[in-house]
Amino acid sequence: MNPAETFVVGIAPMHLPALIAAMLLPVLVLVVRRLRAPVMPGRTRSPVAATPTGTSYMEIGRRPDTVRLWVAWLLGITAAIHLALPLGHLDGVLLTVGFVGSGAAFAWLALRAYEGRSYRLGASLLLVATLIAYLVVSGVGGEEPDQVGIATALVELLALGLCLVPTRGLLRPRRFARFAGSTATIFISIIVGVAVWVGTIAAHAATDGDVSADPGASVAHTDDHGHAHDHAARAQAGIIMRPQADHHPTVEQAAAAQALADATAAAMARFARLEDAIAAGFVLPANASGTDVHIDNPGFKRDGRVLDPERPETLVYAIEGGRATLLGVVYVMEVAGVPAPQPGGPITRWHAHNLCITALPPGFGVVSPFGSCPALSVSLTTPEMMHVWVVENPGGPFAEGLDAAWVRDYHATHGLPTSA
């Protein structure tokens, strides 16, 4: 899945109006500029604001400098997004007033920047307040960061950096002010990035194990809100979920999912002991200890079989204290980008991982909280994979992960001695 597809998958439906508004902003600006009466050569309007020459850029018919132009566009984009958010966010009058008020303030500041008027202090304060509000909503409010929200935060961080770092003057270099502004921008960017990471990973963990009480489909999911926007595709957590057109499985799909879970559990009984899995060709990693140890079978990975309970590509064990507990399997496709079959519909969900391959130093890097790779690295998406657990865990056989504390408790009573 390429970056464009990843971005689209991770858009929350309630944020689509905001994204559309941001995309239409250049058209609106072009129309407004066409409708404005042009300033005739040699004529000026009445000066009302101070610039280096004593008047605003608009009044003397000049274009603003590059920094002001960038700030105006960035603040304008933020304004368009905030003004359109109430169209999708139907969360009450207070939030609507906040969106509209901040959007109007951003639009006013964008116009001031474009016209050459003072804007830095007001824009800086508003941007910081907006970023704090976004982090509070994503953290305390429990709303998972989606691609539109993250992209908006990036726009706001860039605008904030341009506001905090003064331009270099010919006679007054303002070295300390530039250093302080740059330091503050980096510090705020780190805070926002870490918060996005935490919010995304927390949302990922919160959805692990969502199962239905539907007696006809014990492995079905019914958490519509949790699946409403595919968990932002979790590109910023290095995880891409397969998008789903319908999150309600049919009776046939629920039966097929249960059949796959039962067949997997029955076939894996022979690998209850770690030594038997190793004898069958599974290879232990260098660090074979913990509650989530994955061991691969190179032969099964290249056998051309898909969703074969007798030949899973990866096994997952808890290995601690000289004991091992088989937890489940990971079915893995051979080729990246090839969609895997979903016999259980939305119950049997596949996912892929975003990795960053770095040139300096060679190896794997970390996906940034904004879903991109660092400098001197390229993005790589793994083949799709799906967990099927063979233990009686609270989340059921198709949970996206197991709670480490639960695994330790289970391992303490079910672990088998191992010499591996």
Digit-coded pLDDT (tens) for 338-375: 888 999 998 998 888 777 776 656 555 556 656 566 66
Largest CA distance in the chain: 91
pLDDT digits (tens, 9 = 90+) for 160-170: 999 988 876 65
pLDDT digits 0-9 by tens, 273-304: 999 999 999 999 988 899 999 999 999 999 99
CA 77 to CA 24: how far, in whole Å?
A: 10
Distance CA 80, CA 23 (A): 9
Reported residue count of the chain is 420
Neighbours of 273 (CB within 10 A): 15
Say how far apart CA 46 and CA 43 lie, in whole Å: 10
Instruction: Kindly tell me if the per-residue pLDDT of 237 is higher than 60.
Output: no
**Closest C-alpha to 376, from 362, 396, 387:** 362
In one-letter notation, the amino acid at residue 386 is M
More confident residue, 392 or 241: 392
The alpha carbon of 113 is separated from its chain's Cα centroid by a whole number of angstroms, namely 31
pLDDT at residue number 374: 64
For residue 165, the model assigns a pLDDT of 86
Q: pLDDT class for 48, splitting at 50, 70, 90? A: very low
CB 148 within 8 A of CB 12: yes
Report whether pLDDT(68) > 60.
yes
Q: Which of 34-48, 162-176, 212-226, 401-415 has the largest mean confidence?
A: 401-415
The H or E element containing residue 180 is: helix 175-207
* Mean pLDDT score, 88-102: 84
Res 226 pLDDT > 60: no
Asked if the bond preceding 361 is cis, omega within 30° of 0, the reply is: yes
Angle between helices 66-84 and 93-115 (to 10 degrees): 160
